[in-house]
Structure 1
């Protein structure tokens, strides 16, 4: 599960990307809502519905913002300017409750969606460009319908200890899968491929490790393979799996984005995080 990042390298790469323009973009986005809408949706062939400003400029999420504060500062902001509107008028298919505002360390304000601060990308030269998605595996086009997202931050267990990507005590920024709101999802080491062996039929232990229930698997961050996600039936409820691992929340995380307390319970490795490098669950 090794996925190591260095914060200084992030900032340097972010700054470098302010003068680079990617060749990848989506084709023919349509922006049906009026110019008076400050956040609207555009329909694209590659990404489906994406979020834009009133002029059709794409908006992005940053995976380092797992805890709801902005990790893009200094030179990073030259490449990824913040998006903020004091008075929002949103697309009718979006929910006002999903929007918020944070005050950044420098005192400026930034609009958030589902807890993710919103940004532009300087490499998008015209409305409809989506050149920033997947940049450094940490920037993703903002969408209203992600089933999972990715976070990058220091893991801290329920025991208060900081853990590295190998789940050994240590400091390291680790990438891991979350729900759409940045809330950590875990695997159970004793589960089998697409088989939940933890949850009881009466769900009496579900409060401690709630299953991640989904109606359907919609969109996922572009660096992940959608085929790795499957929906299984657990005593009449639908749970999502990743590479065969059923996914769970941890109750004491208190549905708070950025919390990773479950990685140390009862000992590291029993309830690990999952990411791009997670091995497939065993058949039995």
Structure 2
């Protein structure tokens, strides 16, 4: 029986408990895990639940203290069942059901409870037992997201929180450049001052230039946010590739930008500049 196993002798500190592999593998699930672990699994109060926005994960549920709530893939929602006990529950403390209140964005009809093996009542959201992560030490932390590919932040409907796909083109406020256009990955978009827009788009960036300045692929007008729609079109380059324009000006990204928010291409060679929402170059010398 699982209760006879010596968990402390076999589990690497901080590893197995984080994954929360559940009752089926004999990891800290039986009486032999000890009274200390059993008491550690007692649910902590939830308080007033609310929905918080996270840029990477999307809208997720937080407790009254602003801490992220999670669900475990080894559990079930229909019917609600928890499989995280003892050592697992130390790493992933269950959320108590008795004081949970539905705050803004939370449907109280989706809140419920499940009786844990120790007799305590655990909060469920959309049927899924709710947990916190012990390594989330501050409000807004989401360090438990994706742990072991089994733990995920809870959305208000009980599903896994998931960010909406970013628009193909949108804008962001840069502290130095002001409002500039970015692609779906948040990478800064640029214009080349040697290009032409009228009477039709013409790109002067060819050959080796394209290795440093990849073209932005066509984007549907309804897949943009904050970008001027006038002159928003694509054209076919001489090499056969399609390229997006803003105000009919061809646009590019820069290979030297390694992450979203980088603007390393700004002013390169005195000919490359970030793009304003109306297609004008940011900081380019006036002709």
Q: TM-score, normalised by structure 1?
A: 0.41
What TM-score do you get using the length of structure 2 for normalisation?
0.41
Quick one: higher RCO (CA 8 Å, sep 6+), 1 or 2?
1
Q: Flag the structure with larger Rg.
A: 2
